[in-house]
Amino acid sequence: MEILFFYLFAGIGTISAIMVITRRNVIHCALFLVLTFLCVAAIYVLLKAELLAGIQVLVYAGAIMVLFLFAILLINIERTKEIRYRQGQSPWAIILATIVFAQIAYLIFKTLEDTPLRPLGELSPDKVSQIGNTEVIGSVLYTKFLFPFEIASVLLLAAMIGAIILTKRFLKK
Contact (CB, 8 A) for 50 and 133: yes
Is 33 within 8 Å of 65 (Cβ atoms)? Answer: yes
- The Cα–Cα gap between 71 and 47 comes to 33
Q: Is the pLDDT of residue 10 over 90?
A: yes
In the CATH hierarchy, which top-level class contains the domain 1-83? mainly alpha
**Using CA of residue 5, residue 7, residue 12, residue 13, what is the dihedral sign?**
positive
Q: How confident is the model at residue 81 (pLDDT cuts 50, 70, 90)?
A: low
What is the per-residue DSSP string for 112-132? HHHS-S---SSS-HHHHHHH-
Q: Residue 19 in contact with residue 63, Cβ under 8 Å? A: no
Domain locations in the chain as residue ranges = 1-83, 86-115, 124-173
Residues 115-172: tens digit of each pLDDT = 665 656 677 777 777 888 788 888 888 888 999 989 998 998 898 888 788 777 666 6
Rounded to whole angstroms, the Cα distance separating 94 from 67 reads 29
Length of the chain: 173
DSSP 87: S
